Every structure is written in structure tokens, then in C-alpha cells.
Amino acid sequence: MNPESPEQKIDQEKYNDIANRLEELQAKENDGRGIGCVQTVVGCLRRGDVSSAKVAARTDGDKIISYPEVYDFIKKELFEGEDY
């Protein structure tokens, strides 16, 4: 197994930060039960699987849009100018 490059480590730290904030946002929803499909996105980000996180967010975008604060955060932080 190859050690992570400094760039990979910085990228993973960035995605861990996004995952932490996203987890905080979604945990407030549904009377504290959170949003299951967003929890999937968080899990993917923590594993370093950004492409799967984006696929999950796009696939469940019709559900996530019901939570504007969470939706806007994902759009801004995860997609950074890409289509969501």
C-alpha cells in the first residue's frame, strides 16, 4: 500500500471537514433522526470516496432538496460549480 501523498492527505482532511459539517446539519432534521440519504453521503466522504458521495447526493437530490440548508451546503461544498 502506498502512503498518502501530502495532497491526498489535505484533500481527505477537506472532505472530512465537509462530512463533519454535513453530519451536524442533517442531524437537526426529522426531529433529530437525521436524513438517511445524507448519512450515506457522509459515510462516502469519510471513506474518501468522493465520487460515490456525489452519485449518492445526485441520486437522492429530490429528497435532499426538501432540506434547503443541507441542499445548499452540499451544492456549495461538494460540487463547487459542477452540476448538482
Identify the pLDDT of residue 37: 96
Identify the pLDDT of residue 30: 93
Identify the pLDDT of residue 9: 75
Q: Which residues contact 34 (CB under 8 A, 6 or more apart)?
A: 26, 27
Identify the pLDDT of residue 3: 56
Task: Report domain extents, the chain.
Answer: 6-79
Spatial contact of 64 and 12, defined as CB atoms under 8 Å apart = no
Q: pLDDT tens digit string along 10-67?
A: 799 999 999 999 999 999 999 999 999 999 999 999 999 999 999 999 999 999 999 9
Spatial contact of 74 and 57, defined as CB atoms under 8 Å apart = yes
pTM for this prediction:
0.86
